[in-house]
Amino acid sequence: MKSKRLFITAMFLVAVGICTVQAEVKLPSILGNHMVLQREAPITLWGWDDSGQKVTVSLGEDSATATTNDAGLWMVELKPQKAGGPHKIQIKGSTEVTLQDILIGEVWLCSGQSNMEWTVRQSLNPEEEAKNGNHPTIRHIKFPHRPSDKPEDDIPSDGWQVATPDTVPNFTAVGYFFGRKLEAELDVPIGLIGSNWGGTRIEPWTPPVGFKSVPALKKITDNLANFPTKNNNGAIDHQSPLALYNGMIHNFRHLNFRGAIWYQGESNRGDGMMYHEKMKALIQGWRSVFDNKDMPFYFVQLAPFTYGGNPLALPEIWEAQEATLALPNTGMAVTTDISNLRDIHPKNKQDVGVRLARWALAKTYGQKDLVYSGPLYKSHKIVGSTIVVSFKHAGSKLASNDGKPLNHFQLAGQDGEFKPAVGMIKRDKVIVASDSVANPVHVRFGWHQLAEPNLVNEQGLPASPFRTDK
């Protein structure tokens, strides 16, 4: 009898609790105070409330109303706006929410593994960078590491932070230096979305539609239903395909932003040209998910490092990365000259961010007469006992960044045995010769994980490694 009374009492308390729960407007964590919204693009805002609830959203003189669906989701689209602010966004549903200090500007996703997650505090001159970190129109949001077995509509975060000497040390360094360069050149607010995780492969960041778009990845596509799964302890392998797209990208798929910067590939070393196929899947997948078929995607070619093992596995990733430039609206920052062979996380993230920004300034924002890439292999021809190599992005002329003879060239004859060679600059070309190879057939440049070549264009941007014996 006593247990029955206790059960009735408990049910009464539960019922009372349900009756007293107040409906309220709920927003995803990507939408909050201090955020930056993409300029000159429709402003999509969304959230949750009681089903059937009318919700009105206002930004300045513009407003829109939506009614929540059965799941309680509402979504509105406001008119594009010019860069500026600060603004307020008012959201009126069953409750009222006001977002403060909203800026309109340029928004970029900063993703990848540890070299993108690496903070300003861990980079060169951290004290000086923090001291000079007062940039009130640069904002950053960092999402936590969160694999998921299903697409997540919202994940928690600490919200948007304004760049100050106290906050900048925790920003993604590559993203911050990229954003700082854009802010200086464009004179508009910059928003940086940090969704990155050290040590991760590319597969977990890729959505299903991306894998399906690349026939070479059919083995993964055919098994998507099995990725990711929880183990007996309820944990999810964060390296499995879809895991980080589900948990760290999908949640802001409605947000309009300009493009993405990407620094990843160390964990896929050994994939060779298959990494190119995986990059195609990621880029095409994100462009589909974010409904932006022309979304700019600029990435970092990995730095030399003493990995051990096969010394050519890293060059094969470099080759796959450069091949990805065949996709429209992509760009690649080369880092062979700012590496640390004893540190997989080179501290000079300043130049990395600026080199990515040069691509964006030239290709996305239309700055003219800006050399934005280092030399990239274009073609070669055999001339007697030499091979003459032509380059794209040679600028006005090629150069050696240390004043010494060009290094890390090799030639091979019909036997395929590569021998050390010397390179001589002739304006925008390099003439390569070797006393050990009388009849050269192929040329390689920087084709070793420890190679730190000195070939640059006149603007000091380094040449990307290449080989002709593919």
Per-residue pLDDT tens for 27-82? 999 999 999 999 999 999 999 999 999 999 999 999 999 999 999 999 999 999 99
pTM for this prediction: 0.95
What's the rounded mean pLDDT across residues 104-111?
99
Per-residue pLDDT, 470: 83
Residue 16: band (very low, low, confident or very high) from pLDDT cuts 50, 70, 90: very low
Per-residue pLDDT, 22: 63
Which of 368, 408, 365 is closest to 389 using CA atoms? 408
pLDDT of residue 83 exceeding 60: yes
- How many CA atoms, within 13 angstroms, populate the side-chain half-sphere of residue 195? 25
What's the rounded mean pLDDT across residues 182-204?
98
Residue 13: band (very low, low, confident or very high) from pLDDT cuts 50, 70, 90: very low
Per-residue pLDDT, 5: 46
Per-residue pLDDT, 79: 98
Residue 293's CB is within 10 A of a number of other CB atoms, namely 10
Containing 274, the helix (H) or strand (E) segment is helix 274-289
Which of 89, 90, 142 is closest to 116 using CA atoms? 142
Q: Which residues of 175-209 are buried (b: 16+ CB within 10 A; e: fewer)?
A: bbbbbbbbbeebebbbbbbbbbbbebbbbbbbbbe
281 and 345 in a single domain? The answer is: yes
Q: What pLDDT, in 10s, does the model give residues 340-385?
A: 999 999 999 999 999 999 999 999 999 999 999 999 999 999 999 9
Which of 154, 116, 157 is closest to 252 using CA atoms? 154
In a domain, 158, yes or no: yes
**Number of domains making up the chain:** 2
In a domain, 147, yes or no: yes
In a domain, 103, yes or no: no
In a domain, 97, yes or no: no
Domain limit, last residue, from 340, 364, 388? 364
pLDDT of residue 12 exceeding 80: no
Domain limit, last residue, from 364, 384, 401? 364
Domain that holds residue 460: 376-467
Q: What pLDDT, in 10s, does the model give residues 253-309?
A: 999 999 999 999 999 999 999 999 999 999 999 999 999 999 999 999 999 999 999
| CATH number of the domain encompassing residue 336 | 3.40.50.1110
